[in-house]
Chain A
């Protein structure tokens, strides 16, 4: 860094008189108080006492060597604490010791550099004056001239076919991105339908997550909560399975039938002897809602604390969710297994533009 030898002695605003550049339209207001300049220079102990300087110097190079030790330690830690297959504690030792080695190496390096600068390097105050950014007229005129010459020599303005070709090529360049991004969306299906319908359909049995065991109505005692997936979900290929599960996951609970209040009397037929099934996908941003309190019959979403009251058709009673959880209409089949009577009658999960179309 350039040092001004007249450190602090002439800390006054430079006037335009001596400067080679003009101040332009800048208003130079007189300072409201006089520049006090630098505080008096204070010698460090390392300046006054050669022994202290020696010690600081030693500290700096010892820290640099310590940094080398840290780096070597990390290498040895990698060699002597390898990650063994199937042994999770080995991962802990491996990351711990490699991390400690690298930490020591970097921290010692940094502290040494700062200590060097603070205690050993020359301690002098200096001033570098700011200057206006605007160049002088001569430079500016020359710059315009250069542009004109370049235009003349390249023929940018004269040879319009070349110029227009260049502009067209630059405009065309980002177009492939549109095709690429379109490719990320489902290709042969309508994304709206993907979001509006789930795997559930008439007659599909309710089965247990993760085994896929079908559930009988008699399996549920009062206060029971089952995590439910549709029949056949477990047989899908993994990627399809996960996509289907993300939409079709259902929470199945049994209450005393007299506890259930039906604002819409038709929906009582969607339950079976106090057994009700609600979508587990929060209508706020789609977190899985499964924190069920069997005495209060409240269902809590862990992400943003939306609460739904199962006794009142999963009405929102607290939190940011805007709509009740969609109910899955269920009944029992001839063998006593719980089955869906249709898909959800509205899209599950959070809102999207075309939701109500």
Chain B
């Protein structure tokens, strides 16, 4: 082996494994650098008041949103008016990929985000400049909530649609309340504030900023603490639990029964 290695090195040819390793390394370095670069831009602060950002947003709006929402965001047959929805609504809808919508349907599903964070903020700045509306919450509005109070408020106001563990649930005619476990805190806050699609609005007089903080704390707690009951089966309740026990529990009993009654060889 050694001799062979030496000879292959001498001949100047690289072995296939080495080429593959180099390729993987190269891809990792490029991809990592790109990710680091884009992450550093994503966290960049955008001044929503600046005229430059608003103008940038207006251009993006005209190119991507005006078909349905109208040139002045006044709304058309195909889409509602965005006057007064505020930057929070834009950051939620565009920031979770729900807008721009791919096709008219019962509800706009979450999908990969179509814009960079800067572009989303620029769009938000433009829409917010049209009329006053709920604005994007600051980072300190999302942390240090009271989990117990949040749990109670969640069960009273949210759990009927989103499931008590935030696993989501079905609504009427193809609509659904999405699961909340993978949703960022800022988007949860914005959703409560603006009532996207069929979700009711929970303005600051219904759930105060303190209440919203508590609800987010409850959701974060759920995310970070495994279920005491062990295997959660997606926290969907009797449907998934029933299916599991019917298939595996009764399956095991059927198997044992066959074994008991089969003749020993």
- Chain A residues proximal to chain B, CB less than 8 Å: 42, 44-46, 88-89, 91-92, 95-96, 114, 118-119, 123, 208-210, 216, 218-227, 253, 288, 290-296, 298, 300, 302, 305, 307, 318
CA distance A39 to B228 in the complex (A): 55
Q: Which residues of B contact A119 (CB under 8 A)?
A: 264
Within 8 A of A (CB), among B149-198: 152-153, 156-157, 160-161, 169, 171-173, 175, 177, 195, 197-198
Q: Which residues of B contact A292 (CB under 8 A)?
A: 200
Q: Is the CB of A114 within 8 A of B160?
A: no
- Tell me, rounded to whole Å, the shortest Cβ–Cβ distance linking A67 to chain B: 16
CA distance A253 to B200 in the complex (A): 9
Q: Which residues of A contact B195 (CB under 8 A)?
A: 223-224, 294
Q: Is the CB of A318 within 8 A of B172?
A: yes
Asked if B203 is at the interface of the complex by the 8 Å CB criterion, the answer is yes
CA distance A114 to B261 in the complex (A): 10
- Chain B residues proximal to chain A, CB less than 8 Å: 152-153, 156-157, 160-161, 169, 171-173, 175, 177, 195, 197-203, 205-206, 225-230, 259-260, 263-265
Q: Is the CB of B171 within 8 A of A291?
A: yes
Q: Using CB atoms, name the residue of chain A closest to B230.
A: A92
CA distance A298 to B198 in the complex (A): 10
CA distance A279 to B27 in the complex (A): 61
Q: Is the CB of B198 within 8 A of A293?
A: yes
CA distance A292 to B158 in the complex (A): 10
Q: Which residues of B contact A210 (CB under 8 A)?
A: 152-153, 156
CA distance A291 to B161 in the complex (A): 6
Q: Is the CB of B203 within 8 A of A300?
A: no
Q: What are 21 A-B contacts with C-beta separation under 8 Å?
A: A44-B264, A44-B265, A88-B228, A89-B226, A92-B228, A118-B264, A208-B206, A210-B152, A221-B201, A222-B201, A224-B200, A224-B202, A224-B203, A225-B157, A225-B202, A226-B206, A227-B156, A288-B160, A293-B198, A294-B201, A300-B172
CA distance A294 to B157 in the complex (A): 14
Q: Which residues of A contact B228 (CB under 8 A)?
A: 88-89, 91-92
Q: Is the CB of B152 within 8 A of A225?
A: no
Q: Which 4 A-B pairs have the closest CB atoms?
A: A225-B200, A219-B205, A293-B198, A118-B264
Q: Using CB atoms, name the residue of chain B closest to A120.
A: B264
Q: Which residues of A contact B259 (CB under 8 A)?
A: 114
Of B157, B175, B205, the most chain A CB neighbours within 10 A belong to: B205
Q: Which residues of B contact A91 (CB under 8 A)?
A: 228
- Tell me, rounded to whole Å, the shortest Cβ–Cβ distance linking B189 to chain A: 16
Known contacts A118-B264, A318-B172; decide if A291 and B199 are in contact (CB<8 Å). Answer: no
Q: Which residues of A contact B157 (CB under 8 A)?
A: 225, 227
Q: Using CB atoms, name the residue of chain A closest to B194.
A: A223
- Tell me, rounded to whole Å, the shortest Cβ–Cβ distance linking A121 to chain B: 10
- Tell me, rounded to whole Å, the shortest Cβ–Cβ distance linking B260 to chain A: 5
Q: Using CB atoms, name the residue of chain A closest to B225.
A: A88
